[in-house]
Structure 1
C-alpha cells in the first residue's frame, strides 16, 4: 500500500545553536494516520516525541468537495509555522543573554582595574605624606635640641659657635636617589606620573584622604595649643527666680536670663512640648530652674499686687499740689451752670434734657494764679455711684443748694457721701437772685442733717451765689483756696504714677479711652500701667483742653489712650515696671473676678432651689444695655435692677460701652432680651440683623425716660389683678322645674341688685356649695337685665339644678385691674 508523506524542516540562522525541528506525517492510501513524530535536535541530543495522530486527508471522490479536505492541511501548516517562530525567539533570547554576560564581564574587569589603580595612587599618596611627617618631626626635634643647647651655653657663659646644620636623613635619601642609576630615576619618574593629580583622581579620592601642607601646619598649631590650654573660668551667676502658680515659657527664660531655645529643650527632656508663648505650671517650672542652677522663690498669685502696694513716699519728697474740688447737689440746682461760669464755658446747654449725665473733670485758673481741679457730678438719682466716686477722689466738696428749692433727696445723699469720704464741705447757696429765694431756710434745713454753717456758729463755709449772673463766684473761689491752704495738700511727683478712673468709654477711632485723675506721681507717654482688669501702654495723653501733653502730674485730669480694654469707672491706675508684670497682674485680677462671679452664681442657684417650693415663679425682663461711657452704663444697670417686685425682676444680661454690635443682637435673640442704647447707635450690620430676627432697638438720651420705659415694660409682665365687687343677695322662696329650662328658683332680692351678666354663689347654711353664672333672669314672663331690692324674680343657673327653698344667692361681679410697678 502506498503512503503520502509531508516533511517540514526549520533550520535556525547562522551563529545560533543547532536545533532542527522535523515533523513527519505519514498517511496511508486509505486515509488512516499511522504515526506522527516531532524531531527536535538540541544541545543535549535529539528528543523524539510522539505527537497526536491526525487523520490523513481523503482523496476526492465524486461526492467529496475541496472544503472537506482543506481544514486539516491548513491546520498542519499553521502548527509548523508556530513552532518555527518559537524556536527563532528562543534562539534570539539566548544570543542576547550571551552578549549581556560578555558585556558585564568586561565592565567588571574594567572596574577591578580602576579600583586597583586608585588603591595604588592612595598608597603612594599616604607614603608621601608619611615621609613629609617624618621630615617635619625631625626638623622639630633638631630645632628643640638646638634651642636647648643654646640655652645651656648661655647659662655657662660660653660662646656658642654655630655648627653646620645637620641635613635630615630624608633629604640625604632624596639626594642619593637623585645621584643613583638611571633605573632608579626612571622608576621615580614613573612613580611621579602615576601619582599625578588629575580631575578624575581628584574626584575619585575622598576629601578627607587628601591633606595639604597647610592642613598639617594647622594641625600642629592646634596640637601646641592643646598642650598648653588657656582656661577661661566664668563664674556662674545664681539668680533668685520668682515663680508664680503659672508662668509663660518666654517669661521664665527672661527671669533666668537664659535663651528660650535652651528652656524649650529642657522641657522636651521632661516630656513637655511647649512653645515660648504657652503657660506651664509652677512644679514644671521649678524643675527647669533647678536644672539651670538658679534658686526658686515660690510666690502666690496675690503676691503680684505687692509690687504696687510696696511703694511708700518719703516726706522729704512731698510737694504741694492743687486741690481737687467736686461739685455735688440735687438735679437742676445749677451745678453745671456754676462750673460753666467759673470756666467761662457752656457745657450745660449741650446736655440732653438740661441735666448732667456724665462726670466731668476740668482745670480752672483763678485770677490769683492758682489752679483748681473741678469734678462735675450728675445730680439725678440714678447716678449714685458717680457721686460716690467723685466724693472718694476729692479734697473738697462744694454742695450746691438752690435757694428756692432748699434741701432735696440728692442733697442729703451728697452730704452723706462727703461725710463717708471725710471731705470738708463748702455750701454754695445758688439762685439767690430769684424773687422767691430764701437762703436762711436752706441753712436751717441743713442743720437737720448735721451741716452747721459759719453764720450759725459752725465750721462749714457757706457762700451765696448766682451762677447765671456770676454773683459771689470770686467769694466761692476764695473759700476754696482758703480751705485748701488749711488742708496743706501734698504729693510726690517723682514716683510711678497712680490715679483713679473718673470715666471710661470706647471711642470708634481711638479705642478704649479712660479719664484719669492723677493722685500721685507723674504719668508720662510710654509708661506701662495696669488699671483694674485691663493693662496698657500710654500711647497719648489729652488734657481737658483737648491738647496732647507729654506728662500729667498730681491733681491733673487727663484722658489716657493705649488700653487693651475698657476699664470700670472707679478703678485705680498704677504704673508698673514692664509689660509682663502688667499682664500678670491683669490676669490675676480677671481670674479673681471670675471666681467671685461663679461662686456668687452658685450660691444664688442653691438658694433658688431651696426656695423653689415656697415662692411663686417670677417673670424676668432681660435687657442688653450699651452706653457711651462706662459710668452711664453702670448707672443704668443700677437703676433698672431696682425696678421690680416679687412677680417681675429686671435682669441685665450685659452692659458695656460702645455701639450696638452683632454680638449684642445675637445675645438678645438667643435669650429674648430687649436692647437699649444710651447715647449710642447700632452698626449697620447689627441693624439689619435685628430687623431679620425681629428684635426692637430702643435708643435713649435721657436716663429718666429710659427708666420710665423699662418700668412700663416690666408692668406689662405683671398678672392682671381681679377685683370682686359685691352686688346683692336674694332668697329662694320656691323652686320650679320647667321643661326645656330645668330647675328655676323663685327668689326675692333682699339686698342690692341682681344682674344677669354677673356671677353668683349658692349659699346653704352660710356655706358656699356652688359658684357659677346666671342662665336666665326673669320677672314675670319677661327677660330682664337687673332686678332691684325688694322685687321678686326667677333665676336659673348654668349647668346646675340642686336648688332648694331657703337657700341664698350671692350676686357679684369681677373687675380686671392692670398692675403697675
Structure 2
C-alpha cells in the first residue's frame, strides 16, 4: 500500500513503531511525534471520513485509526502513568516511602463508614466523635472538615483511628475511580431490625472491590425486632463470616443512639488493622496524600481537607493538589485548632490553595513554587484535553442501531434503578428475555437497585458505557448535571412496557422518537398554604432552572415520583401573578386539583420538544 501524500509530498509512513500519546491528544501532537506536517494528517483523516482540526482533542479510537493508516502502533498513556511521568520529569517520586525499614513508624488506620441509608452511619460517626472528645479540648469548636481522629484504649495503650467523615460508598467510589487508595478498613453498618438491604450489598461490593478488610457494626440492637443473629446469617451468604462462626470478620453489636459498645467497635477496628495490615509510613519526608473534600469558602478562599499518607505536612510548605497549588497558610483540625504540622494518617484542613482540587486528587509537597505551578498547569491542560476528547459520544438509545451495525459494541450495558425491588426485578427479567432476532447482541444489567439515580450510578455508567434506566424515580443531587456533562444517557419511564418496547425497538433499529422531555426547573416545597378557593398552594424555593406557568410537572417525594402529568396552573411572586420564576427565588405554585403536597417534596417541571433525528 502506498504512503498517503498531500500535494505530491509523501507522508512519513511508520514501520510498526510505537507512538505514545496522552488521552485527548491532537493531530498536532501526533505530527510532532512522527515529524510530519499536522495539515497532512488532517487530510488523512478527511480521506478516512472524519473532519478533525489540527489542534482539536480527539478520542482514543481516532488516534488508533490514524496510527493504523500510517503504520504506527498508537499507545494511549493512562492518566496515572502520565502523572507519574510528569512527576518523574521534575525528579519527584510519588507514592513511595523514602528510606529503609528503620525510617518507618506505625500510623493510625484510616476508616470509612458504609451501609444502607437510615441504618445509622451518620449517627455512628457522631457517637464516636462524642465518646472521644479528648479532655481539655471539650470547649473547642467542632467543625466539619471531612475527617477526624478518635482515640481508644487497646491492651492498656491509647490507639488513634482516623475516620473519613463522608458516610456512604458514593464518596468512597468517587475516590477509587480517581485511583486514590484512601481507606485501610471499612465499617459496614447494618441495622439489626432491618437486616441486609440493597445498599448494604452495594456498599459491601464496593469495599470488596477496593480489597479492604471489613468490620461489621450491627446497629440498633436496642430497637424492637432487633435480631443481630439474623444479620450474621444473612452476611454469610455474601462471604462475611463472623469469628464466632469460624470466620475472620469481626461483628460488633452496637447502639449508636444509646452510645452502646462504641469502644468495642473501635477496638475491633484496631485489632483487625493489626492482624490484616502493615500500617507504617515514613514521617521524615516531604508530605504526600490525598484531598478528601474541598470547597470555596467566602472568607478563606479555596479550602481542602487533606489526609497525609506519608511524610509530614507543615505550615509554609508548597503543595500541589490535583490541578491546584499554593503555599500552606494554615492547618486546622476538626476541633478548629490550628496545627503546626500533620503526620501520616492525620487529616487537616489546608488554607492557601489557588483553586479547589477534586475529591480523591493526590497532593504532594515540592521544593519550589515554580515547580508546583508547572505541575498544576500541566495537569489542568491534560484534564481539559481528556474532557474534550471524551465528549465525542457515548452510547445512547437513539443511535444504538447505527452503533450496533458499525460493530462498535456487541452488548448493551444497562443500570436499572426503580421505586421498588419488585418492579426493578420485573423490568430486568423482561429486558433479559428480549429476542432481537439474528443479531447477537447481549443485554447486560451491570447494576440494579432501589432508589433515586445517584452520582455513583453515573460513575459506573461512565466506566462501562452503560445507559441508566430510571423506573418511577429521578436523579438526585448533582447526578443530572454530572450525567449531562459526561454524556451518560439517563432514560426515565413510568410504564414497564414502554421501557421494554423502546429498548427492543432500538435494538431492532426501528426507534424513531419524535419528542424528547426537557427539564425546565425544579422547586422545593418549603411550606404548604391552604386556600378555600384554590386548594393547597406550595410555597417554594426554585432550586434549578426556571418554573413557568402552564408547563407539565411531576411531584417527587424522597427521590420517588408520586404523581405524573401535573400542570403548573398558578404561579405567584408575593401578591403578583407571574409567568415564570427563576432559580434562587421564592414563590407560590398551584397544581390545580392536585392537593397531595408536603414540605420537602420537589416539583420538577418539563416540556416535550420535537427531537430532530440525525
| TM-score between both structures, scaled by the size of structure 1 | 0.39
**Alpha-carbon distance in 2 for matches of 1:531, 1:582:** 9
In the TM superposition, what whole-angstrom CA distance separates every residue of 1:715-738 from its partner, at most 9, and x where no partner exists? x5489xxxxxxxxxxxxxxxxxxx
The partner residue of 1:540 within 321, 324, 330 is 330
**Alpha-carbon distance in 2 for matches of 1:709, 1:541:** 39
The partner residue of 2:247 within 458, 462, 476 is 458
CA contact (8 A) 1:391 1:418 kept: no
Q: Which 5+ residue runs of structure 2 have no aligned equivalent?
A: 1-81, 134-143, 406-475, 493-501, 503-512, 522-542, 548-577, 587-597
- What secondary structure, in the 3-state scheme, does the structure 2 residue paired with 1:537 have? strand
| Closer/same/farther in 2, CA of residues 523 and 336 from structure 1, 3 Å limit | same
The partner residue of 1:437 within 226, 229, 253 is 226
**Alpha-carbon distance in 2 for matches of 1:303, 1:652:** 45
**Alpha-carbon distance in 2 for matches of 1:650, 1:708:** 20
- Aligned runs of 1:534-683 on 2, under 5 Å? 534-603=324-393, 637-638=481-482, 643-645=490-492, 648=516
Bigger fraction of residues in strand:
2
Deviation at 1:612, TM superposition (A): 8.9
Deviation at 1:432, TM superposition (A): 0.8
**Alpha-carbon distance in 1 for matches of 2:222, 2:151:** 26
Bigger fraction of residues in helix:
1
Determine whether 1:313 maps to 2:98: yes
Deviation at 1:474, TM superposition (A): 2.1
| Closer/same/farther in 2, CA of residues 424 and 317 from structure 1, 3 Å limit | same
Determine whether 1:328 maps to 2:215: no
In the TM superposition, what whole-angstrom CA distance separates every residue of 1:5-38 from its partner, at most 9, and x where no partner exists? xxxxxxxxxxxxxxxxxxxxxxxxxxxxxxxxxx
| Closer/same/farther in 2, CA of residues 555 and 614 from structure 1, 3 Å limit | closer
| Closer/same/farther in 2, CA of residues 386 and 520 from structure 1, 3 Å limit | closer
Deviation at 1:379, TM superposition (A): 3.8
Partner of 1:490: 280
CA contact (8 A) 1:388 1:417 kept: no
- Aligned runs of 1:203-242 on 2, under 5 Å? none
The partner residue of 1:713 within 580, 605, 610 is 605
In the TM superposition, what whole-angstrom CA distance separates every residue of 1:454-511 from its partner, at most 9, and x where no partner exists? 1221100111111122222222122122122222310001111111111111100001
- What secondary structure, in the 3-state scheme, does the structure 2 residue paired with 1:326 have? strand
- Aligned runs of 1:731-746 on 2, under 5 Å? none
CA contact (8 A) 2:152 2:267 kept: no
- What secondary structure, in the 3-state scheme, does the structure 1 residue paired with 2:582 have? coil
**Alpha-carbon distance in 2 for matches of 1:459, 1:577:** 45
Partner of 2:263: 474
Partner of 2:208: 419
In the TM superposition, what whole-angstrom CA distance separates every residue of 1:566-610 from its partner, at most 9, and x where no partner exists? 111111111112111111111111211121122223456999999
- Aligned runs of 1:60-139 on 2, under 5 Å? none
Deviation at 1:538, TM superposition (A): 0.7
CA contact (8 A) 1:340 1:346 kept: no
Partner of 1:519: 309
The alignment covers a number of residue pairs equal to 360
| Closer/same/farther in 2, CA of residues 387 and 586 from structure 1, 3 Å limit | closer
**Alpha-carbon distance in 2 for matches of 1:302, 1:386:** 18
| Closer/same/farther in 2, CA of residues 361 and 478 from structure 1, 3 Å limit | same
CA contact (8 A) 1:382 1:635 kept: no
| Closer/same/farther in 2, CA of residues 577 and 549 from structure 1, 3 Å limit | same
CA contact (8 A) 2:116 2:197 kept: yes
CA contact (8 A) 2:545 2:583 kept: no
CA contact (8 A) 1:524 1:538 kept: yes
CA contact (8 A) 1:501 1:571 kept: yes
**Alpha-carbon distance in 2 for matches of 1:692, 1:538:** 50
| Closer/same/farther in 2, CA of residues 528 and 444 from structure 1, 3 Å limit | same
In the TM superposition, what whole-angstrom CA distance separates every residue of 1:238-266 from its partner, at most 9, and x where no partner exists? xxxxxxxxxxxxxxxxxxxxxxxxxxxxx
Determine whether 1:695 maps to 2:582: yes
- Aligned runs of 1:669-818 on 2, under 5 Å? 695-697=582-584, 709=602, 712-713=604-605, 716-717=607-608
Determine whether 1:398 maps to 2:183: no
Larger RCO of the pair (alpha carbons < 8 Å, separation 6+):
2
CA contact (8 A) 1:308 1:574 kept: no
Deviation at 1:695, TM superposition (A): 3.0
**Alpha-carbon distance in 1 for matches of 2:302, 2:215:** 35
**Alpha-carbon distance in 2 for matches of 1:344, 1:550:** 25
**Alpha-carbon distance in 2 for matches of 1:471, 1:343:** 14
CA contact (8 A) 1:501 1:573 kept: yes
- What secondary structure, in the 3-state scheme, does the structure 2 residue paired with 1:468 have? coil
- Aligned runs of 1:33-52 on 2, under 5 Å? none
Higher-Rg member (1/2)? 1
- What secondary structure, in the 3-state scheme, does the structure 2 residue paired with 1:426 have? strand
Deviation at 1:366, TM superposition (A): 2.0
In the TM superposition, what whole-angstrom CA distance separates every residue of 1:128-180 from its partner, at most 9, and x where no partner exists? xxxxxxxxxxxxxxxxxxxxxxxxxxxxxxxxxxxxxxxxxxxxxxxxxxxxx
**Alpha-carbon distance in 2 for matches of 1:613, 1:309:** 43
CA contact (8 A) 1:532 1:572 kept: yes
